[in-house]
Each structure stands twice: as C-alpha cells, then as structure tokens.
Structure 1
C-alpha cells in the first residue's frame, strides 16, 4: 500500500513511524531522534 507516497508492505523495507506523542521540550526531541537513529542504523 502507499502511505504519504511511500510504498509500505511485508515485501518492502522497514517503514517506521516513531517518536513521542507530545513535544515536551527541545531536548526530549533531540534525545528521541538520537535514540531512534541508533536503533534504526543496523536495520538500514
């Protein structure tokens, strides 16, 4: 299926939607982005 112009499905590369539900602070956003980058790096 297509989601916002991206092909998503079992035969497609990982498509991740993640992050905090609420923006509490700039630092929280930076920390979350950094951690997601670490998690996703080995997944390509």
Structure 2
C-alpha cells in the first residue's frame, strides 16, 4: 500500500518540479527583459 503513496509522491514531486522549473524560467525571462530595457534606456 505504501508503494502506491510513494508513486503518487514521486509523480507529484516530478510534476511540481516541472511547474517550478517553468515558473523559474518565466521569472528569469522577465528579469532579463527588465535588464535589457534598463540597458537600452541607459544608452540614450
């Protein structure tokens, strides 16, 4: 029975990790855009 819960925990951890990874990528992209915008306005 506990193998069943282990599989669910692993699956949840895997999917949660994928979700967390996509959130981190989105944040990194956003920060990169902010940096590029700041660099662009500094060039004027």
Question: What TM-score results when the alignment is normalised by the length of structure 1?
Answer: 0.40
Name the structure with the higher helix share.
2
Where relative contact order (Cα < 8 A, 6+ residues apart) is larger, the structure is 1
Structure number, greater radius of gyration: 2
